Structure 1
Amino acid sequence: MERLNQWITENPTLYSIFKFILLATFVLAIIQLFRRFLRKQVTDASVRYKSQKGIEIFGYVILILLSFSYFTGNIKDFTLAIGLFSAGIAFTLQELILSIAGSLYIFIVKVYKPGERIEINDIKGDVIDVDSIYTTMMEIGQWVSSDNYSGRIVKLSNAFVFKGPIYNYSQDFPFIWDEFNLPIRYGSNVELAKSIIIETAKEILSQFTANSKTQWKAVVNKYYIEDAMLDPTLAISLTDNWIQFNLRYIVDYKKRRFTKHTLHDKINLEIKRTNGKVLLASTTLEIINMTKTKFNVETKN
């Protein structure tokens, strides 16, 4: 022991280098331990790769800073170095940590669950899986019209639940309001047209209306919200070209497109049966007056 102390006293530079090698070895060992931990715990290949690379790069940066600080004597407390390293790890993996926290938030608060239709980060679709890092959705919309599947499966980081609004189409109240306009020609029997549209809507939408009324009561009791009109309603406005009938109704969120098709088809059939008493309109152009212009053409020989 005395000989070791004597060697340290006689060779301070070599002793400092030896201590630094031990410190560097410790830092590299911590990096490898974190990499092994991520390799075993993270199942997604992309996240695993990026996390491992992030830790590796950050570890080398910390090693360079420690080298500079060690030999210049600015950092003498090893505990401070470990603290900086831990903070760096947390910063490097902040997206991964947020994703894990987001998954806990989703399950505890019940933000959404598989089978529900949501829109988040401008992506709309049906949730088909929620794991510790990603929410997996079957996308709807984009280049296809209405609420049809596009065929793409989207993986979205659970961290997005903290970054913006989440639109849920089916939680608590699996119905949405929809509407469309019908142009009726001036001179048509307006009362007959109103009767056709309302009666057809009541017939086709009766099941949706009855089911929605039961569930809407639960929503009103749970949230601070006003009562709403759930029966089909019709509003009329006059335009330059036609009488516009606006039908507003409630429908199952997964049957919006088919229901609109059924309403259009049935209403169009009933209007045809009126034998001209009610007519659908289209954009027209009426020429009020046209000035006659005479042209004299003279020929020269």
Structure 2
Amino acid sequence: MLDYGVNIIEDWDGFVAQFNWVDSVIFFGFVLLMFFIRTVAFILLHKMEGKSERFQNRLGPALKSITNWITTYGIIVFLLVYFSEASWMFGSIFSIGKVDVSFFLILLAVLIISFANRTSKVMTQFLLPNVYDRYQLDRGLRFTFNRIFHYVIMVFAILISFTTVGIDMSALTVFAGVLGVGIGFGMQNIASNFISGLIILFERPIKVGDRVIINDVIGDIEKINMRATIIKTLDNERIIMPNSYFLEEEVVNRSYGDPRLRLVIPIGVAYGSDVEQVREVLHQAAHEEYEASDVVLNNPPSYVNFTGFGDSSLDFELFVWISNPEFVIQIKSNLNFRIYHLLNENNIEIPFPQRDLHVRSVDQRVIASYRDDVSE
């Protein structure tokens, strides 16, 4: 182990000794120039996005991605061309087993992985959406295919980069065994969440765009990562939940299977009200909201449930079905407004808690006796 460390130090000393600092200044000057051009291009693209919505949604992001490509790979190509005759480019920096790793091999591996990553992003952002639109895939299924495609591309890129560098893949079996032991002892949660994420992507108990309820908090699934799932609440806050939570705990998914949802609107009216009239008024409120909104359903029809006799009111419930759970709060509010106005128009009283106070008359002899006791 000591000899191995000494060899690495000697290799690095030789690497530094071969390096020409004048060339390095020229290289970093070229890097600054490329980033300056990139910044100018982004400013121009930003100005053009404000003039066209189509440019902002499709062409603008594509041109930004191409600009990043040109910047990154322009720097790498310049590095390879300018230093093609430099001895330090192909000299050994360190060794892995019998393989001498040079700066050129490291750069080549990084180039392969970064190219695969950018290719995956372009495919999932600009090409695959056209296929999804053709087959009318929902948002959650699109996200699943995008993540699987990205993982497959990156795994192949890493394997190819290892092979290019010269690392024998069979030698990684020992590393895999050590990694398995590490996962078994020190990375249980990470491994559990990663596997849970794969199960979620394939089994799809939840998917991107679903509305869920977790610990009485309502939110929409925004992103399913390798370790955790991002949930956007109605207050625009983000909840980061481990993937294993969705397989081990109870989660309410309002969008799973059938997205239709039944709303329950509780109503209380005063004793003495015409209950048949109350039922007609509630049905009228549901019908008016059905005509005004594309979310309220007419089938199943609305239903009025007479729940019982409360302390201060006759208690009813209005059942209304909607097609999209994202509009729960809006439709409930609209129905409450309509019900309130209709009850007032029909002179149906909405009660409030009342208590009757009964005063009992007191015998005058008791009062006189109390006064005598006090005077004594």
Structure 1 and Structure 2 fold alike (TM over 0.5): yes
Residue in 2 aligned with 1:249?
A: 320
For residue 101 of structure 1, the aligned residue among 195, 217, 229 is: 195
Aligned length, in residue pairs: 202
1:281 aligns with 2:351: yes
Which residues in structure 2 correspond to 1:126-205 (within 5 Å)?
Answer: 126-139=220-233, 149-205=234-290
Once the two structures are superposed, residues 133-181 of structure 1 have per-residue CA deviations (whole angstroms, 9 ceiling, x without a partner) of 2211113xxxxxxxxx234212222122332233211133223222132
Once the two structures are superposed, residues 241-299 of structure 1 have per-residue CA deviations (whole angstroms, 9 ceiling, x without a partner) of 2211121222331222221221121111112222x3x2111212224562335423459
Distance 1:193 1:106, change over 3 A: same
Q: 1:300 Cα deviation (Å)?
A: 6.3
Q: 1:111 Cα deviation (Å)?
A: 2.2
Q: 1:83 Cα deviation (Å)?
A: 6.4
Q: Is the 8 Å Cα contact of residues 209 and 231 (structure 1) preserved in structure 2?
A: no
In structure 2, how many angstroms separate the alpha carbons of the residues matched to 1:268 and 1:152?
32
Q: Is the 8 Å Cα contact of residues 183 and 282 (structure 1) preserved in structure 2?
A: no
Q: TM-score, normalised by structure 2?
A: 0.46
Query: Aligned partner of 1:250: which letter?
Result: W
Q: Is the 8 Å Cα contact of residues 120 and 164 (structure 1) preserved in structure 2?
A: no
Q: Which runs of 5+ in 2 are unaligned?
A: 5-95, 97-112, 114-175
Q: Is the 8 Å Cα contact of residues 262 and 321 (structure 2) preserved in structure 1?
A: yes
Q: Is the 8 Å Cα contact of residues 184 and 242 (structure 1) preserved in structure 2?
A: yes
Query: Aligned partner of 2:192: which letter?
Result: L
In structure 1, how many angstroms separate the alpha carbons of the residues matched to 2:334 and 2:273?
23
Query: Aligned partner of 1:280: which letter?
Result: I
Distance 1:261 1:130, change over 3 A: same
Query: Aligned partner of 1:201: which letter?
Result: A
Relative contact order (alpha carbons < 8 A, sep ≥ 6): 1 or 2 greater?
1
CA RMSD of aligned residues (A): 3.6
Distance 1:122 1:258, change over 3 A: closer
Query: Aligned partner of 1:107: which letter?
Result: L
Residue in 2 aligned with 1:270?
A: 342
Q: TM-score, normalised by structure 1?
A: 0.56
In structure 2, how many angstroms separate the alpha carbons of the residues matched to 1:176 and 1:85?
46
Distance 1:88 1:195, change over 3 A: same
SS in 2 for 1:155: strand
Q: 1:123 Cα deviation (Å)?
A: 5.4
SS in 2 for 1:269: helix
SS in 1 for 2:279: helix
Residue in 1 aligned with 2:304?
A: 234
Identity %: 17
